[in-house]
Amino acid sequence: MHVIDLFMEKLDQIDRKILTILQRQADLPLEELGARVGLSRNACWRRVRALEAAGVIKARVALVDPAKLGFGLMVFIQVRVAQHEAGWLERFARAVGEMPEILGVYRMTGDLDYLIRARVADMADYDRLYQRLIRKIDLSDVSASFVMEELKDTAELPL
């Protein structure tokens, strides 16, 4: 059994309720959170702290509307590379890490090597991102798909 499986077995229904609520509203006062899960404020606080200490709760953040901040276009960038060496991967990770428009980078199976998720203002902004990326790192093939409509976009895990 994996370490994660063992930890998941230790999560009881109250922990799962706490996590479900915090995924939707991380700024909820402890008194209200405790009332919703049937615990005192202090008992609830201890549970939340334990979940944070265990790394189950990685961070508490505010979700902002990208369009209202000028990042109305989401793009998925598909990348294929000719090199698969540690040095190249380190340079690639550093390059994409330095670009705040890039929200996620995933190493993939199959024909695609990497999938990049980014938010930009418009097509011209995407082109600037693309030009900066190819100046920083050698890529064999790059193509992009632009999101026309977001039907679902969540970070909430089903517990």
pTM of this structure? 0.86
pLDDT per position as a tens digit, 99-129: 999 999 999 999 999 999 999 999 999 999 9
* pLDDT at 84 (0 to 100): 85
> Nearest to residue 28, comparing CAs of 45, 11, 46?
45
* pLDDT at 10 (0 to 100): 83
Query: Which listed CATH number (1.10.10.10, 2.60.40.420, 3.40.1800.10, 1.10.3720.10) goes with 3-53?
Result: 1.10.10.10
Q: Are 19 and 33 in contact (CB under 8 A)?
A: no
pLDDT per position as a tens digit, 129-149: 999 999 999 999 999 999 999
Phi, psi for 143 (deg, rounded to 5)? -135, 160
* pLDDT at 8 (0 to 100): 58
Element (H, E) at 90: helix 86-97
Alpha-carbon Rg for the chain, nearest whole angstrom, is 20
- Architecture of the CATH domain 67-146: 2-Layer Sandwich (3.30)
* pLDDT at 9 (0 to 100): 63
* pLDDT at 7 (0 to 100): 58
For the segment 9-26, the average pLDDT, to the nearest whole number, is: 93
Cα(73)–Cα(125) distance, integer angstroms? 9
**Which residues, including other chains, have CB under 8 Å from residue 106's CB and lie 6 or more apart?**
114, 115, 116, 117
pLDDT per position as a tens digit, 23-80: 999 999 999 999 999 999 999 999 999 999 999 999 999 999 999 999 999 999 999 9
* pLDDT at 150 (0 to 100): 95
Domain residue spans of the chain: 3-53, 67-146
* pLDDT at 106 (0 to 100): 98
